[in-house]
Structure 1
Amino acid sequence: MAWQETLEIATRGRGTQEITSDVDGIVANAGIDRGIAHIFVQHTSCSVMLTENADPSVRHDLETLARRWAPDGDPTYRHADEGDDDMAAHGRALIAGSSVTVPVSHGRLALGTWQGIYLWEHRSRPHRRRIVVTVTG
């Protein structure tokens, strides 16, 4: 059996937004006791990630690392159609990833104690992002 819903999230610009409860709600709607939830973002300049949800400094530090991996406005970039953050956002998305898979147990996400699911916007300005959640079991 499979269930699929799409979330639409308005971002505030670069940074993270926790979507754990949104995804868990979809898992509950699916009515699947055991299986997997696959969370996939349909964009190339943001990511979905599974990370620490207790200490926000972790997400701040991840942003610091991303600035090192893919700095905005690098003069060697060729792609800058949408501004100085354009190519950097694509690079960050490639490194951080476009999907995560989480086990479903007893009809809920089987996350660890300090784990949360986040949409990580890599662009400087706000965007509307679509996230497809597929639950199978």
Structure 2
Amino acid sequence: MVHQETLQFDSRGRGSFNITHEVEQIIRQAGIRTGICQLFLHHTSASLILCENADPTVRSDLERFMARLVPDGDPLFDHTQEGPDDMAAHVRSILTKMDLSFPIIDGRPGLGTWQGIYLWEHRSHPHRRRVTVTLYGET
């Protein structure tokens, strides 16, 4: 069986947002017990990550690390059409990724105990983001 849906999320600007619950709901409603879940983000200035879900300081530490690694307004960048965070956001998304895959086990995401699924917004201002969820498996 194959099932596909697209979710929309409104980010509040730069930061990571837990989307695990929304993905779990799609898996549960599709009735797939064993299979693969593939997520794809339709944007070039945000990313998807599996990350620590118990301690939010992990995500804030990641944000500070990324700000040091790829600072907004770096004079290296020519692409600044949408502001000083424009090219930095593109680099950040390429260094992370715009897709994720994980197993579906017993009708649930087969994540580790401390893993959550996060949309990581790299732009300073809020954006509407689309994530397509594709499920392959058996009911």
Q: Which residue number in structure 2 is paired with residue 7 of structure 1?
A: 7
Give the equivalent residue in structure 2 for 1:74.
74
TM, length-normalised to structure 1: 0.98
- 5 Å-filtered alignment, 1:117-128, equals 117-128=117-128
Normalised to the residue count of structure 2, the TM-score between the two structures is 0.97
Deviations 1:23-77 (A, max 9, x none): 0001112211100101111000000100100000000000011112211001120
Distance in 1 of aligned mates of 2:132 and 2:68: 29
Where structure 1 has 5 or more consecutive residues not aligned to the other structure, the ranges are none
Secondary structure, aligned partner of 2:74:
coil
Aligned equivalent of 1:51:
51
Once the two structures are overlaid, the 10-residue window that deviates more, 50-59 or 103-112, is 103-112
Mean alpha-carbon deviation: is it higher for 77-86 or for 60-69? 60-69
Q: In the TM superposition, what is the alpha-carbon distance from 1:119 to its structure 2 partner?
A: 0.3
Quote the RMSD (CA, aligned, Å). 0.6
1:85 aligns with 2:89: no
Structure 1, 87-96 or 65-74: larger mean CA deviation: 65-74
Q: Give 4+ residue runs of structure 1 displaced > 3 Å after superposition.
A: none
Q: State the identity %.
A: 55
Greater mean alpha carbon deviation, residues 68-77 or residues 80-89: 68-77
Tell me which amino acid in the other structure corresponds to 2:115. Q
- Give 1:111's aligned residue: 111
Mapped partners of 1:81, 1:33: distance in 2: 46
CA distance in 2, matches of 1:70, 1:128: 23
Cα distance in 2, alignment partners of residues 29 and 58 from structure 1: 31
Asked whether 1:62 is paired with 2:55, we answer: no
Amino acid at match of 1:12: R
3-state SS of paired residue (1:26): helix
**Structure 2: distance between partners of 1:96 and 1:76:** 20
Q: Secondary structure at the match of 2:113?
A: coil
Pairwise CA distance, 1:100: 0.9
